Structure 1
Amino acid sequence: MQITTHATQPIDGQKPGTSGLRKKTEVFSQADYLQNYVQAIFDVIEPEGRTYVLGGDGRYFNDPAIATILRMAAANGVRKMIVGQSGLLSTPAASHLIRKYETDGGFILSASHNPGGPNGDFGLKFNIPSGGPAPEAVTNAIHARTLEITEYRTSRDEAPTVDQIGRYALGDMEVEVIDPVADYADLMETLFDFDGIRELIATGFTLRFDAMHAVTGPYAVEILERRLGAKSGSVVNGRPSPDFGGGHPDPNPVWARDLVGHMMDPDGPDFGAASDGDGDRNMIMGRGIYVTPSDSLAVIAANAHLAPGYAGGIKGIARSMPTSAAADRVARKLGVEAHETPTGWKFFGTLLDAGRATICGEESAGTGSNHVREKDGLWAVLMWLNIIAARNQTVQQIMDDHWAEYGRTYYSRHDYEEVDSDVASALMDDLRAALETLPGKSFAGLTVIEAEDFDYTDPVDGSQAKAQGIILRFEGGARAVLRLSGTGTAGATIRLYLENHEAPDGNLAQDPQKALERVAQAADEIAGIEARTGRDVPDVVT
């Protein structure tokens, strides 16, 4: 194998966010951009003689990126790359492969729930040997390396195609192309009562899973239709597409509106779900009801013992700070630890590794457990099906029982997308500067009792994360959280999270937006979102 060393220079903007580096596809595909970032990763992780997993969600630029990474891996002394057939691997499946085959980490090509295509987004993140996203110490080192890089190495040989399962050579490096679905599907069978779910489906129970033209299509067909017996066609939009069928692969009521239409029909399926671009997020619905991610986390935690893989109970529950406190109430009743972390699945890793959390979730439709070190959309779907089968109840009945026991935490997220970055940053900076002055003041009839910029100290390794989002707490238990998203690629996204808890003997049947109306008004009065952005309504409400 002949190796070429290319001279290069640093490229601005290669700082990873909460889930790796995400940029517009046209940025990632410009000369040396991907190569610089990949070489920076290799320079930090010292790859010689090691084995890695490689795959992505099939979005535009996935194939050439895989070929580039394979050629650079060979030139940097990697011993073996395990690649999903056709370059496909869902993010949770990649995490499982890293763990199952005890590799030294993995390269995951995805921009998650962001749109794809030539005018869409692309992303790359490195996962560590535990299967989870690289911690900030590693991503900071990668970013630092991008600022000083002067060369990258690549093989002159062509990378093997990865369309067929088999073993191939690229110089001294072995490339093993594997079935991207089988190992993951086998894992799911060890966690859930597939016999019970099959019996449920055999009684006439109907479901609809919208794969949104993303990577979970093949996984859902194999598991839901072939292994569990759902009728053919229960999985819709199941063929992965480079531009996600021209849609937006974010499983929420706005972008999965077709699923919502079917589920709100009185004659609709009994159960509905959707997943995102790389398969790590989920949306759960029953006939006539949408389950918020915060409620889904709480219900899963309260009922996890019904699934064989969790029959012994759970050790703890972890949630991201913007996620509602509904899961905390479950943790108190179960007598297990409840953890509040910054946004980003990587913050759950130490808790999972230390056995201090079993079930984790975040408000942006990510839910998972200690079976992998990523959130897992299909896992959440199967957990819900297991719960439904075990309890012999509808989704609505399960939610009604849960709220009757724990109360209902009304919750919503308002996204203001592609706001001018300077405007968004100034809004947050000014809000931080005013925090000490807010307690005791009233806005929209709600009195602030506490205002803080959330800082986090990891209880396992002592690492710290500062300024992770602003929390406004009001008398009566209402809360608003404001933060800038780390997953967008254009401008800034201001995310406003609203919650208001109603006790079990309170009004549990309100319209969520009505129940949160005063909280939203108070947050806007405090932060000046409309006045400063010119947006009188959010772009997305979930």
Structure 2
Amino acid sequence: MYKSTRVETEISYSDQKPGTSGLRKPVKTVQQVNYTENFLQSLLETVCELEPTNRKLLIGGDGRYYNTTVIPLIVRMAAANGFKELIIGKDGLFSTPACSSYIRLNNCVGGILLTASHNPGGPDGDFGIKYNVANGGPAPDSVTNAIFEKTKTRTFYNIIDPVDIPLNAIGETVLETDQGQVSVRVVDGIECHEQLLGTIFDLPKIKSYLAQNNICITADAMAGVMGPTVHRIFGDVLGVDPSHLIRCTPLPDFGGSHPDPNLVYAAQLVETMKSGRYEFGVAFDGDGDRNMILGKDGFFVSPSDSLAVITANLNCIPYFAGRKFAGVGRSLPTSGAVDQVAKKLGFSLFETPTGWKYFGSLMDADMISLCGEESFGTGSNHIREKDGIWAALAWLSILSTRECSVEEVVKSHWEEYGRHFYSRHDYENLSTEQGAQVMAAVNSFTSPDAAIPQMGDTEVASCVNFSYTDPVTGDRALNQGVVFTSKTGSRVIFRLSGTGSSGATIRIYLEFYSTGGEEGDVQDILNPLVKFALQVSDIRAISGRHAPTVIT
């Protein structure tokens, strides 16, 4: 019999407010006395209050450092707080999209994911605790706010005696506790999601196309949780040579790399694609929800263009055949490329704040079927998370149906819909004060009597601080980014990121729309907008930086 104990705590914490997608902190922060217990008890209590009958909870993570320490802790605390069925991914692994699939298809109350997504791992890296609700999507603001309020005055946590759950073997362990029986099941963290993807895409058709045309593809899992899924779907199902699937073993520190699939941190894949050996390449982030698509010779598909191309080629994906397409959603900073597609094809379009949770209510209300963010996230209403492997298979479906290259698909899209030259400049690891100063500087131009400089050779038509009202729930999200829009439709957006674990990251989004077939380097074309952004923000003087940390 496992005894339940109420542990009184002397320390509560005031810094446990979840960000865009969960609580993210440096490992050393979450290792403080009772820090993790403080947050978990507040989370578990909130779930019990909101869902008083369902006690079936999923637990998993992206394999990062400290996961295997916290998973047994969650088991012990969940059992002490009245949960009756706990489902854990084998080896503690559950990608974010697989988690969403499992929750939705198995009637879970929700899931606790131990992930900091694309943030670095290891003892000196970051750790994250994220809660997904019963629809499979990230907890909305109302839930995370309730958790946060509890954390600030926490005085105890509940826990049962230590337990030994073998995470490396699929099976069930039944715990006899003073709270009743608790079933702890270790399951295949890939199978459920793999089966769902098999109903969305014609995988035999893709396999045949690759084999018959001798097309080589490669994938980089960046030592994150998507590695086993890449081997299962790309290797076993599509017949891709396993030697072409790189960094597919999940590592606690992601091999010392930054598991963010962009042109800087996925440079290994970029160089591999530049060799000309592969027709298609994709990289995934630490928890498997983000993706970067590359064509032969390193042709880069911006995430904004990726969303637009997939939307314009829905007929290539069996899931959408004969199914009502409700509409498409994009985050505020994502370029307007998909707007042109929606306008031409007569689809509804929704512009939301950054954060996948804002798409969830729209999908639940059948208002959108497809959505994406410029931060390398794409997905559909098959789940309530962005889905890296789904995006890769969507592209392979397009290529196998149209029988042309990635570059040909994108360039033909530009010819039809125009091109949105787009880039994001990130200033990472600023101090909190520096981040606040930059945002205060650009916010000053939202005043009606502010004198706004010209954006290149055109006048600025508007400057607003973006706010959003959810059309389904009525929830309001304020201060989501400062948007400068020129009279010709160019945009410069400033946003304080909510995915960092400490300090501040300022993201500057630059967008120039052209129907005139402009050619040239993207950064050169956007240079007038860069000069404008530096002028209105004074970010170089405030930060002491002469250049962004990352340009994508």
TM normalised by structure 2 equals 0.96
2:281 to 255, 272, 291: 272
Question: For residue 21 of structure 1, what is the aligned residue in structure 2?
Answer: 23
For 1:466 and 1:432, how far apart are their aligned partners in 2?
13
Mapping for residues 89-488 of structure 1, pairs under 5 Å: 89-171=94-176, 172-203=181-212, 204-265=214-275, 267-288=276-297, 289-312=299-322, 314-436=325-447, 437-438=449-450, 441-488=453-500
For 1:489 and 1:370, how far apart are their aligned partners in 2?
29
For 1:407 and 1:517, how far apart are their aligned partners in 2?
20
For 1:170 and 1:281, how far apart are their aligned partners in 2?
37
For 1:191 and 1:369, how far apart are their aligned partners in 2?
10
Question: For residue 46 of structure 2, what is the aligned residue in structure 1?
Answer: 44
How far residue 440 of structure 1 moved from its aligned partner, in angstroms, is 6.0
How far residue 506 of structure 1 moved from its aligned partner, in angstroms, is 2.7
| Helix, strand or coil at the partner of 1:252 | coil
In structure 2, runs of 5+ residues without a counterpart are none
How far residue 444 of structure 1 moved from its aligned partner, in angstroms, is 4.1
Question: For residue 5 of structure 2, what is the aligned residue in structure 1?
Answer: 4
Q: Which moved further from structure 2: 389-398 or 458-467? A: 458-467
Amino acid at match of 2:231: V
How far residue 491 of structure 1 moved from its aligned partner, in angstroms, is 1.4
Q: For the Cα contact (< 8 Å) 1:70–1:159, is it kept in 2?
A: no
Q: For the Cα contact (< 8 Å) 2:97–2:385, is it kept in 1?
A: yes
For 1:438 and 1:241, how far apart are their aligned partners in 2?
51
How far residue 48 of structure 1 moved from its aligned partner, in angstroms, is 6.6
Q: For the Cα contact (< 8 Å) 2:445–2:463, is it kept in 1?
A: no
For 1:305 and 1:71, how far apart are their aligned partners in 2?
48
Change (3 A) 1:102 1:233: same
For 1:67 and 1:232, how far apart are their aligned partners in 2?
33
Q: For the Cα contact (< 8 Å) 1:439–1:451, is it kept in 2?
A: no
Amino acid at match of 1:114: N
How far residue 372 of structure 1 moved from its aligned partner, in angstroms, is 0.5
For 2:500 and 2:242, how far apart are their aligned partners in 1?
36
For 1:441 and 1:540, how far apart are their aligned partners in 2?
26
| Helix, strand or coil at the partner of 1:233 | helix
TM normalised by structure 1 equals 0.98
How far residue 350 of structure 1 moved from its aligned partner, in angstroms, is 0.7
For 1:466 and 1:77, how far apart are their aligned partners in 2?
36
RMSD: 1.2
For 1:290 and 1:138, how far apart are their aligned partners in 2?
38
Q: For the Cα contact (< 8 Å) 2:437–2:542, is it kept in 1?
A: no
Amino acid at match of 1:387: I
Aligned residues: 539
How far residue 28 of structure 1 moved from its aligned partner, in angstroms, is 1.2
In structure 1, runs of 5+ residues without a counterpart are none
Q: For the Cα contact (< 8 Å) 2:441–2:538, is it kept in 1?
A: no
Q: For the Cα contact (< 8 Å) 2:445–2:452, is it kept in 1?
A: no
Q: Deviations over 1:39-76 (max 9, x none)?
A: 00111111676101110000000101100000001101
For 1:518 and 1:167, how far apart are their aligned partners in 2?
61
For 1:7 and 1:341, how far apart are their aligned partners in 2?
42
2:79 to 67, 74, 82: 74
Amino acid at match of 1:97: Y
For 1:524 and 1:382, how far apart are their aligned partners in 2?
39
Q: For the Cα contact (< 8 Å) 2:423–2:523, is it kept in 1?
A: yes
Structure 1 runs (4+) deviating above 6 angstroms are none
